[in-house]
Amino acid sequence: MKKRIWNALLCFVLCLSAVCGASACKEERADGKFTVYAPDGAPALALAALIAETDRAADRGEEPQYEIHIVDSSLIVSYVTGNAPAADFCILPLNAASKQLGNGESYRMIGTVTNGNLYFLTTGEEALTPENFGTALLGKTVGVVQLSNVPGLTLQTVLKDYGLTYRISDNAEETAAEDEVVLRAVEAANVTPASGCDYYLCPEPAASTKVAGTAASANPFRFAGDLQQLYDSSAGYPQAVLVAKSGLAESEEGRKAITAVAERVREAEAFLKETEPETLLSLLDGKRTEGLAPSFNANNLTASVIANCSIRFVTAEEDRERVNGFLEKLLGVNAGAAALVSEKFFYVG
């Protein structure tokens, strides 16, 4: 009887060891493919060069090394969280990455991918520049798309940097006093010249769509300011980042994949300038979730929209200071908007 109990216990311990061993090796994949996820829009454009290379490999009859998925932006965090996150690599907003992955345990930041795509629109005459921003906006209302998210929070950090007093209002009839700026939340689809604000802060490609959509009207929109330039005239702000599973850094194969993906994302800036928009649309179409309406189409994917999306790769190591600075500023506006990240979060290759 005692012997049977010991045998059963030994079997249990051996099984447990096997399971632990298997889970430690979970970054080894049987099919050799790495999964890459990005939300549709500017972050997906950053994968254009990688998609093109993957498609070329498939055309040559080779087994593609990367399985790329362009998904609904509202779901992107679900691919890097949970017990078995689906993404080996993922592009997601920095503030979300800081909150979910900031301890560097499950994922680490490889680099910044996009550097801001928010633009002021107005039907008025006065454009907003770093020189006049501190005065031109006083007594004005600004309709902000995604006021409670990074766009609105980034605007608030910029207003603070320029020493401007601001107030958030949900009363469409309310006007701003002479010494303040009033911010109002608006849906991108509701940004029209008749919506009642002096300026609107809108992301690309919606900003260009609005300008084009009102061009023939009596009261057209025009571009009136670049929030990225107002935040930091040389570099913009770190908007979306590329992260990779921490386990990848522990194997030779994983480190090679990290280097390769980072290189393709770095090449995206030049690739997007050289490639026709129709080709880019076709590349993205092939990787988008079935049935998901595309952010870009033949009407709104132009060279100027691509340039306005500020796709430019900066490694985590090089961008550490800017990233930490941006997160601190966001926290200064809203303590729940982001989190400070640990040193481990930044991948040093």
State in angstroms the smallest separation of the CB of 189 from other proteins: 4
CA pair distance 156, 166, nearest whole angstrom:
8
3-state secondary structure 32-96: CCEEEEEECCHHHHCCHHHHHHHHHHHHCCCCCCEEEEEECHHHHHHHCCCCCCCCCEEEEEHHH
298 binds other proteins (CB under 8 A): no
Kindly tell me which residue out of 17, 251, 289, 342 binds other proteins, with binding defined by CB under 8 A: 289
25 binds other proteins (CB under 8 A): no
CA pair distance 55, 279, nearest whole angstrom:
12
Q: Judged by CB under 8 A, which stretch of 25-33, 177-185, 190-198, 256-264 contacts other proteins?
A: 190-198
With respect to other proteins, which residue has the nearer C-beta, 39 or 152? 39
DSSP state of 346: B
74 binds other proteins (CB under 8 A): yes
CA pair distance 209, 232, nearest whole angstrom:
25
Return phi, psi of residue 306, to 5°: -60, -45
With respect to other proteins, which residue has the nearer C-beta, 193 or 238? 193
State in angstroms the smallest separation of the CB of 171 from other proteins: 19
247 binds other proteins (CB under 8 A): no
Kindly tell me which residue out of 292, 303, 307, 348 binds other proteins, with binding defined by CB under 8 A: 292
193 binds other proteins (CB under 8 A): yes
Written as one letter, the residue type at 239 is Q
State in angstroms the smallest separation of the CB of 195 from other proteins: 8
State in angstroms the smallest separation of the CB of 341 from other proteins: 25
291 binds other proteins (CB under 8 A): yes
CA pair distance 214, 309, nearest whole angstrom:
21
Name residues contacting other proteins, limited to 200-229 (CB under 8 A): 206, 209-210, 212-214, 217
Non-local (6+) Cβ contacts of 261 within 8 A are 34, 36, 50, 66, 89, 110, 242, 244
DSSP state of 286: T
Q: Which helix (H) or strand (E) holds 107?
A: strand 107-114
Name residues contacting other proteins, limited to 142-161 (CB under 8 A): none
72 binds other proteins (CB under 8 A): yes
Site map (CB under 8 A) of other proteins, residues 299-328, x = contact: x-----------------------------
CA pair distance 248, 250, nearest whole angstrom:
5
Residues of this chain that interact with other proteins (CB under 8 A) are: 72, 74-75, 78, 188-194, 206, 209-210, 212-214, 217, 289-294, 299
